[in-house]
């Protein structure tokens, strides 16, 4: 799928990511209302407030006109991955690029004018809405469309240049289920045989995109990405570091404990007692989530952890039943059920007769057409992911029904990811009992095991969520040279995650490309921000719901007051800076990771006890 701008979907934490409502807006839209760039620049001195208002009004009409048909084209490509659909997607991306670039460049005509709030904000959205911006050049636009579509298709097919193909789901299952380090290493290496062919194309894409970003007035494409957060681009990078430093002590304690347990299981020859952990041992293809190794690191307790996968099987849940359960959660908060078209048009299971992009994603095709695309597996992980994806759909519908077209998006992209994750935090034993998946909630002796399992997912993810874009920002601004792509990737992974490649890697490899969001050009900071925001949101919604117990035991399921507060923020869309939306929800104007520390406080105390005799750090 061509993703010249923002991806046309919201994708889940496992493999991929996300569509913002505005994604589609800047990605693949109709003819820009502006004239040619040179003519627009010549007329700049004559532009008036009325001209700017008319420009925005024409843009919104034009962008909305082809919204559905454009998304349908990308939906088909994602659900029927063939050379033909890839070609069609590339062509759609090429045409969209031409239109969106002209639309963005046209905003220059109004620089320096004193504009009303909405006109200025909408012009800024038009300007910064591009993700991989092409220059105002037809040949380069066509080349960029071919590259981005090809990168996406290469990942989706999972085949090497000589025709050797790999199934990511099968390889991931090996990492999740095997106790054999050699088997895990083989699975880890096989998936990374697909990405080296992306390297030269990715380098060329960066060159073209940076030309486009500079035409829009940005230093590079990374600066364009960081400009979307209602603050200075460099200040945003500093804000990410500030939030990381808040949570780093918790992550470091977790890494220390996990390393010690893996050393005890596999021995010094496989993982040492000090230093970084080999990436293939952590139960996930990218070592971004560690919950699959829970049995190896679990606290000793007489209380058995809830096996949600087994409970789903015992209760006879199929794929659609899992989705209906997630929909029921939102209905319990006061949201209306999803339209019938959701059930008729979504993809819930992997087809046997064709290649599809299996990465979980939520789609917004019109104000009445919302879908998910997901090859659901009947397990605990996908049960949580489904709640996450429906969070996107309910967010999309909330602002679609309230906001002008250019405001149909989340307050920032981290908000979009955080909403579903906030709901997922309410998947507690209490909730599972309320919906009949378990008969009895474990007592307090089960809290540490519960928090450990949550931390192996949410806390373990934090440094990975930070470093993916740090790598790309360095690539875009030239600090990371093309002949250092892989070296820089593993340096960042060791610095932030305390994780290393299990075998020697060279610049013949392109390991960043083994993570979908890199060839798919999905900005990744949103996932890091979502991990921060979800706990901040959860703490406030639990307070609204009258929770007086531990934060990790709170579920807002069935609480209409919490639902009303959530809905009010969702309906704001992108009409106000994210600081305003955050304040409306939490009373704070700054993102704050202290809620994570509050949530995991009992686990942190327990980890510190376990780590007393260990040498932590890497």
Write the pLDDT tens digit of every residue in 296-333.
999 987 777 788 999 999 999 999 999 999 999 999 99
Distance CA 333, CA 352 (A): 37
User: Which residue numbers in the chain have pLDDT < 70?
Assistant: 1-45, 97
Residues with active-site annotation: 389, 517
User: Tell me, what's the pLDDT at 45?
Assistant: 56
Q: Which of 412, 396, 391, 364 is nearest to 574 (CA)?
A: 412
Distance CA 539, CA 452 (A): 19
What residue spans of 28-116 are helical by DSSP H? Answer: 37-42, 49-65, 67-79, 83-106
> HEC profile for 106-157?
HHHHHCCCCCCHHHHHHHHHHHHCCCCCCCCCHHHHHHHHHHHHHHHHHHHH
DSSP 165: B
Which residues contact residue 500 at a Cβ distance below 8 angstroms, ignoring those fewer than 6 apart?
Answer: 275, 276, 277, 278, 279, 490, 493, 494
Beta strands in 196-346 (DSSP E): 277-278
Summarize pLDDT for 207-249 with one digit per residue, the tens. 999 999 998 889 999 999 999 999 999 999 999 999 999 999 9
Residue where the block lists tokens 């709640």? 387
Predicted pLDDT of residue 14 = 27
CA–CA separation, 27 and 132 (whole Å): 9
For residue 34, give both structure tokens: 């502006």
Of the candidates 59, 68, 131, 71, the one whose C-alpha atom is nearest the C-alpha of residue 99 is 59
| C-alpha distances out from residue 359 to 15, 128, 518, Å | 6, 26, 14
pLDDT for residue 2: 30
How high is the pLDDT of residue 353? 87
Distance CA 217, CA 228 (A): 14
Predicted pLDDT of residue 480? 98
Domain edges within the chain: 8-158+194-228, 236-305+458-514, 309-441+537-571
Show the CA angle centred on residue 361, arms to residues 125 and 79, nearest 5°. 110
Instruction: State residue 613's pLDDT score.
Output: 94
């Amino acid at each position: 799928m061509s993703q010249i701008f923002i991806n046309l979907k919201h994708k889940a934490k496992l493999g991929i990511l996300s569509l913002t409502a505005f994604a589609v807006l800047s990605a693949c839209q109709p003819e820009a209302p502006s004239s040619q760039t040179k003519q627009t620049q010549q007329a700049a001195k004559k532009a008036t407030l009325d001209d700017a208002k008319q420009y925005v009004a024409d843009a919104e009409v034009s962008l909305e006109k082809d919204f559905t048909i454009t998304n349908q084209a990308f939906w088909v490509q994602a659900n029927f991955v063939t050379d033909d659909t890839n070609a069609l997607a590339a062509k759609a991306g090429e045409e969209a690029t031409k239109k969106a670039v002209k639309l963005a460049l046209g905003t220059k005509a109004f620089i320096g004018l004193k504009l009303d709030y909405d006109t200025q904000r909408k012009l800024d959205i038009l300007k910064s809405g591009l993700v991989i911006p092409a220059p105002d050049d037809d040949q380069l636009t066509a080349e960029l469309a071919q590259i981005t579509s090809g990168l996406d298709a290469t990942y989706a097919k999972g085949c090497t240049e000589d025709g050797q193909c790999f199934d990511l789901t099968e390889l991931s299952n090996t990492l999740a289920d095997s106790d054999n380090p050699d088997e895990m290493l083989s699975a880890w290496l096989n998936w990374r045989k697909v990405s080296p062919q992306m390297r030269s194309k990715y380098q060329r894409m960066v060159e073209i995109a940076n030309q486009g970003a500079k035409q829009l007035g940005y230093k590079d494409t990374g600066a364009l990405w960081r400009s979307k957060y209602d603050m200075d681009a460099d200040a945003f990078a500093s804000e990410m570091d500030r939030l990381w430093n808040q949570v780093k002590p918790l992550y470091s304690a977790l890494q220390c404990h996990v390393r010690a347990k893996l050393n005890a299981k596999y021995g010094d020859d496989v993982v040492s007692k000090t230093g970084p952990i080999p990436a293939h041992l952590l139960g996930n293809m990218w070592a971004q989530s560690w919950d699959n190794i829970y049995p190896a690191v679990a606290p000793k307790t007489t209380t058995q952890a809830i096996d949600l996968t087994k409970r789903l099987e015992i209760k006879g849940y199929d794929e659609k039943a899992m989705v209906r359960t997630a929909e029921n959660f939102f209905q319990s908060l006061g949201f209306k059920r999803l339209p019938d078209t959701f059930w008729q048009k979504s993809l819930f299971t992997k087809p046997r007769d064709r290649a599809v992009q299996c990465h979980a994603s939520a789609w917004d095709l019109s104000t009445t057409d919302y879908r998910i695309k997901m090859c659901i597996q009947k397990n605990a992980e996908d049960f949580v992911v489904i709640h996450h994806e429906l969070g996107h759909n309910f967010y999309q519908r909330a602002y679609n029904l309230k906001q002008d077209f250019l405001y149909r998006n989340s307050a920032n992209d981290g908000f979009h990811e955080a909403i579903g994750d906030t709901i997922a935090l309410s998947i507690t034993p209490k909730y599972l009992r309320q919906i009949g998946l378990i008969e009895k909630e474990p007592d307090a002796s089960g809290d540490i095991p519960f928090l450990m399992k949550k931390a192996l997912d949410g806390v373990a993810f934090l440094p990975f969520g930070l470093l993916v874009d740090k790598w790309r920002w360095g690539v875009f601004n030239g600090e990371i040279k093309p002949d250092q792509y892989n070296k820089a990737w593993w340096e960042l992974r060791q610095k932030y995650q305390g994780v290393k490649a299990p075998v020697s890697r060279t610049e013949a490899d392109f390991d960043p490309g083994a993570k979908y969001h890199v060839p798919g050009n999905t900005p990744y900071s949103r996932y890091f921000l979502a991990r921060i925001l979800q706990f901040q949101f959860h703490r406030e919604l639990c307070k609204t719901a009258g929770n007086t117990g531990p934060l990790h035991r709170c579920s807002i399921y069935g609480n209409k007051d919490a639902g009303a507060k959530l809905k009010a923020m969702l309906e704001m869309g992108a009409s106000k800076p994210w600081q305003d939306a955050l304040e409306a929800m939490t009373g704070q104007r700054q993102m704050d990771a202290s809620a994570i520390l509050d949530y995991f406080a009992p686990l942190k105390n327990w980890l510190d006890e376990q780590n007393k005799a260990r040498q932590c750090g890497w």
